[in-house]
Amino acid sequence: MSYFNRHIFFCCNQREPGADRPSCNECGSENLRAYAKKRVKELGLSGEGKVRVNQAGCLDRCETGPVCVVYPDATWYTFIDEEDVDEIIDSHLVNGKEVERLKI
């Protein structure tokens, strides 16, 4: 059995200005990861057997970013703001229903 029921990894990669590819952190992914972590804790979803919110380096989906991925479901999402992150948390992490409109 896995220690956590689900992991959600947020790409927080930051590339140098003028890089050939975009970077998720230029779209605010680090701040939105921090928001997700706080909200998951507030909802009592964090801890053993529950949800873990993690920061990741480049997840190599740069052109569709910012991105996060939920494991073990292997569901990839893009998001823009706190409302999108709330929807991922409420629908997928709480109720187990993928958010079709945000899936990559």
Q: Residue 74: which CATH number?
A: 3.40.30.10
* Domains contained in the chain, number: 1
Residue 1 maps to a domain? no
Whole-number CA gyration radius for the chain = 13
- Residue 39, pLDDT score: 98
pLDDT beyond 70 at 1: no
Residue 77 maps to a domain? yes
Structure confidence by residue, pLDDT tens digits, 31-86: 999 999 999 999 999 999 999 999 999 999 988 989 999 999 999 999 999 999 99
Residue 21 maps to a domain? yes
β-pairing verdict for 6-11 and 67-71: antiparallel
**Average pLDDT score over residue span 18-42:** 95
| Boundaries of domain holding 24 | 6-102
**Average pLDDT score over residue span 27-31:** 95
In whole angstroms, give the CA distance from residue 47 to residue 91.
19
- Residue 65, pLDDT score: 85
Residue 48 maps to a domain? yes
Which residue's entry shows tokens 């823009």? 80
